[in-house]
C-alpha cells in the first residue's frame, strides 16, 4: 500500500521537522501553564465526585475555592491535600462541600514536611485514579480479545444524536447490529462552551446529547451487551474538546470510551476558545488518552467546510502534521492517531474524484501507521438525496481505494434532517456494497501522473505554509488568520480567565504520573 505516490523521503522528513519547530514553542507554553479544567481533571482522578444542588460539579466548587484563597499557579493538589490533613477531613468530596460552604480555607504548607506529606497524599489519590484508567484499558484489551475487532478496514463509524441518552442507546445498539463498528454520540450544541461538565443521565439536549460521566457509563454498558451479541467489540466515541477537554478525556478513560475527538486547533478556530487555554488543555488530555489507550480523532475536515477543498488542501496536511507532532509529544502512539480528512471537493470541479484520491492517498502515505479518519461530504450535499447517495458511494470507494482506517458513514439526508432510521440503513447498505465489491481494489490501484503530481503539489504547498508558520510563530499565525479565515489572537477568546502560569512550586500529581 505504501509508496504509490513517489513521495520524496527528504521532503517528508522536512515537513515533520518544520512541524516540530512550529509546535515546540507551543509545547513549552503548555508545560508552563495550567488551567481550571486541568486542575478539575486532577481532582476527578483524585476522587472528587458529584455536583451541588444547582448541578455545579464539586470539582468546580473546589477549584474555585482554592483559587480564591491561594491562586491556581501552585496547582490545586497541594493546597487541597494539605487542607485535608489540617481539617481532618478524610473524603475529598466532603472537603469540596465544606469549601463551598466556606468552612475550609486553603493555604500552602509552611513546613517542608507538610509539603512533602501533602504531595505524597495527593500522589496516592491521583495514582488510584490513573490505576482505574489502567484497569479500564486492560478490560478493553480483554474484551477485544474475546469478541474480536471488526473483520474489515475501514471501521464503520456511525453517529447517534437524539438528545436523550435513553433514546440514543437503542439507536446505537441497532446501528451496531446493522454493521457499525464505532458509535459516536454527538454532544449537545453549546456544550463545548460550558466551563463545567453536567452531571448524571440526561434526556434533553440541542441537536445532540450532553456528555456526562453517567451517560458515558450507560452507553458503554449497552454497547458491551451488543458486542457480546454481534461477536465483535463495538467502540464508543465522544468529544474531548471545548472548555472541559481535560475532564472529558479523564471521564473517557474512567468509563472505557475507545475514541475521542481531540483536535489541536478546532476549539480555537471554530469556537473562539483562547489559544493558550486550548493548547494547555489539549496536552493534558492527550497524555490521558495515551495512558487510556484511546484513539484520538482530529478535526481537519472542518477546514474544508469553511475553505475551498482544493485551494485549502494543504492546510489539512499542515494541521495533520501539527496534530501528529503534538500527539507524539504527549505520548500517543501512531495507532492512536485518527488524523482527519474529508471528501469535500465540489463535485462540479473537473476530475474532482481523482483530486480526492490524490489528497486521501497523500494522507495515507504521510502517516502510514495511523488509522486515518475519512469524513463524508457535507458541504456539497443538497436536498437532492439521490445525488447525495451517489456522492456517498464515491466517498466510500475513495476510502476503500486509499486504505482509510475509520470511515464516518455519510448520510444522503445530510443538510436535510438528522438521520432517520431508514437513512442510516441505506447509508450502511451503500458502505457494505462498496466494501464487499471493491474493498480490496487498492491492490490493483496504481495512480498515474495526475494523482501523483497533485499529491506532491499539495505536500509542497504544505511545506511553504509551514515555513511561514515557523517564521511567524504558530500563535501569531493563528492570530493572523492563517488557518481557516478566523483571526484568533492569544490574548482573546473564551476561557482565558481560566489559565494560569505555573509557579516554581507548581505540583500536579497526575502529570507527574503521566510524563
Residues that bind other proteins (CB under 8 A): 174, 177-178, 188-190, 193-194, 206, 269-272, 302, 305-306, 378-379, 381, 414-415, 420-422, 425-426, 484-486, 494
With residue 296 as reference, give the H or E element that holds it. Answer: strand 295-297
For cell 500522589, the residue is 123
Distance CA 361, CA 341 (A): 11
C-beta separation of 1 from 154 below 8 A:
no
Distance CA 334, CA 240 (A): 19
Candidate list 258, 263, 281, 301, residue with the active-site label: 301
The nearest distance, CB 486 to other proteins, in angstroms, is 6
Candidate list 239, 266, 506, 507, residue with the active-site label: 266
Q: Phi first, then psi: what are they for 500, rounded to 5°? A: -140, 145
| CA-atom Rg of the chain in angstroms | 23
Q: Per the structure block, which three cell numbers stand in for 79?
A: 493546597
The nearest distance, CB 49 to other proteins, in angstroms, is 23
In this complex, which beta carbon is closest to other proteins, that of residue 281 or of residue 414? 414
In this complex, which beta carbon is closest to other proteins, that of residue 175 or of residue 366? 175
Q: Per the structure block, which three cell numbers stand in for 387?
A: 445525488
The nearest distance, CB 70 to other proteins, in angstroms, is 27
* CA-closest candidate to residue 165, choices 256, 79, 236: 236
C-beta separation of 197 from 245 below 8 A:
no
Distance of CA 365 to the CA centre of its chain: 22
In this complex, which beta carbon is closest to other proteins, that of residue 189 or of residue 440? 189
For cell 474524484, the residue is 353
C-beta separation of 264 from 319 below 8 A:
yes
* CA-closest candidate to residue 81, choices 502, 508, 515: 508
Candidate list 196, 373, 494, 506, residue with the active-site label: 373
With residue 35 as reference, give the H or E element that holds it. Answer: strand 33-35
For cell 481560566, the residue is 498
CA distances from 241 to 194, 265, 422, 474 (A): 11, 10, 30, 20
The nearest distance, CB 174 to other proteins, in angstroms, is 5
Give SS3 for 261.
Answer: strand
| 301 part of the active site | yes
CA distances from 477 to 18, 296, 312, 480 (A): 14, 24, 16, 5
The nearest distance, CB 344 to other proteins, in angstroms, is 12
The nearest distance, CB 221 to other proteins, in angstroms, is 20
The nearest distance, CB 119 to other proteins, in angstroms, is 37
| 303 part of the active site | no
In this complex, which beta carbon is closest to other proteins, that of residue 34 or of residue 302? 302
The nearest distance, CB 499 to other proteins, in angstroms, is 17
In this complex, which beta carbon is closest to other proteins, that of residue 230 or of residue 361? 230
In this complex, which beta carbon is closest to other proteins, that of residue 250 or of residue 302? 302
| Count of other CB atoms within 10 angstroms of residue 508 | 23
Beta bridge partners of 374: 341, 407
Q: Per the structure block, which three cell numbers stand in for 12?
A: 517528508
Q: Per the structure block, which three cell numbers stand in for 15?
A: 515537513
In this complex, which beta carbon is closest to other proteins, that of residue 389 or of residue 402? 389
CA distances from 467 to 318, 452, 460, 514 (A): 10, 23, 11, 32
| 195 part of the active site | no
Q: Per the structure block, which three cell numbers stand in for 118?
A: 501533602
Q: What is the dihedral of CA 101, 102, 103, 105, to 10 degrees?
A: 140
In this complex, which beta carbon is closest to other proteins, that of residue 137 or of residue 379? 379
The nearest distance, CB 425 to other proteins, in angstroms, is 5
Query: Which residues are designated catalytic?
Result: 266, 301, 373
Amino acid at each position: 500500500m505504501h509508496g504509490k505516490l513517489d513521495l520524496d523521503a527528504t521532503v517528508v522528513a522536512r515537513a515533520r521537522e518544520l512541524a516540530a519547530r512550529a509546535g515546540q514553542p507551543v509545547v513549552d507554553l503548555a508545560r508552563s501553564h495550567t488551567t481550571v479544567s486541568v486542575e478539575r481533571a486532577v481532582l476527578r482522578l483524585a476522587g472528587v465526585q458529584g455536583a451541588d444542588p444547582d448541578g455545579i460539579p464539586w470539582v468546580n466548587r473546589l477549584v474555585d475555592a482554592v483559587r480564591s484563597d491561594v491562586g491556581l499557579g501552585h496547582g490545586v493538589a497541594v493546597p487541597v491535600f494539605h487542607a485535608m490533613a489540617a481539617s481532618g477531613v478524610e473524603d475529598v468530596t466532603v472537603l469540596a462541600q465544606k469549601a463551598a460552604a466556606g468552612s475550609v480555607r486553603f493555604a500552602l504548607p509552611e513546613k517542608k514536611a507538610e509539603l512533602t506529606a501533602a504531595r505524597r497524599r495527593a500522589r496516592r489519590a491521583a495514582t488510584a485514579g490513573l490505576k482505574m484508567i489502567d484497569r479500564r484499558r486492560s478490560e478493553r484489551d480483554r474484551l477485544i480479545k474475546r469478541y474480536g475487532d471488526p473483520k474489515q478496514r475501514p471501521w464503520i463509524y456511525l453517529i447517534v444524536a437524539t438528545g436523550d441518552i435513553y433514546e440514543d442507546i437503542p439507536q446505537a445498539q441497532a446501528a451496531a447490529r446493522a454493521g457499525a463498528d464505532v458509535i459516536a454520540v454527538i454532544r449537545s450544541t453549546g456544550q463545548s462552551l460550558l466551563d463545567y461538565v453536567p452531571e448524571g443521565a440526561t434526556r434533553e439536549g440541542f441537536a445532540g446529547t450532553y456528555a456526562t460521566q453517567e451517560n458515558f457509563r450507560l452507553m458503554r454498558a449497552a454497547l458491551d451487551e451488543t458486542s457480546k451479541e454481534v461477536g465483535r467489540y463495538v467502540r464508543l466515541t465522544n468529544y474531548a474538546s471545548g472548555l472541559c477537554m481535560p475532564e472529558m478525556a479523564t471521564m473517557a478513560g474512567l468509563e472505557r470510551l475507545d475514541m475521542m475527538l481531540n483536535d489541536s486547533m478546532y476549539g480555537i478556530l471554530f469556537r473562539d476558545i483562547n489559544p493558550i487555554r486550548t493548547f494547555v488543555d489539549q496536552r493534558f488530555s492527550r497524555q490521558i488518552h495515551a495512558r487510556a489507550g484511546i484513539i484520538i480523532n482530529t478535526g481537519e475536515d472542518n477546514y474544508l467546510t469553511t475553505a475551498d477543498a482544493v485551494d485549502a488542501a494543504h492546510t489539512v496536511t499542515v494541521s495533520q502534521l501539527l496534530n501528529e507532532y503534538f500527539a507524539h509529544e504527549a505520548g500517543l502512539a501512531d495507532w492512536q492517531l485518527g488524523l482527519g480528512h474529508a471528501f469535500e471537493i465540489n463535485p462540479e470541479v473537473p476530475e474532482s474524484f481523482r483530486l480526492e484520491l490524490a489528497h486521501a492517498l497523500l494522507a495515507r502515505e504521510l502517516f502510514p501507521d495511523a488509522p486515518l479518519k475519512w469524513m463524508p461530504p457535507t458541504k456539497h450535499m443538497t436536498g437532492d438525496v439521490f445525488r447525495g447517495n451517489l456522492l456517498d458511494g464515491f466517498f466510500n470507494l475513495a476510502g476503500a481505494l486509499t486504505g482509510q482506517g475509520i470511515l464516518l458513514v455519510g448520510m444522503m439526508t445530510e443538510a436535510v434532517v438528522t438521520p432517520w432510521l431508514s437513512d442510516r440503513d441505506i447509508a450502511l447498505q451503500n458502505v457494505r456494497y462498496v466494501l464487499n465489491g471493491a474493498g480490496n481494489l487498492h491492490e490493483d490501484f496504481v495512480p498515474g501522473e495526475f494523482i501523483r503530481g497533485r499529491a506532491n503539489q499539495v505536500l509542497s504547498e504544505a511545506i511553504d505554509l509551514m515555513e511561514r508558520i515557523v517564521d511567524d510563530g504558530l500563535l501569531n499565525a493563528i492570530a493572523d488568520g492563517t488557518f481557516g479565515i478566523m483571526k484568533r489572537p492569544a490574548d482573546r477568546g473564551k476561557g482565558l480567565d481560566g489559565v494560569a502560569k505555573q509557579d516554581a512550586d507548581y505540583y500536579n500529581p497526575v502529570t507527574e504520573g503521566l510524563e
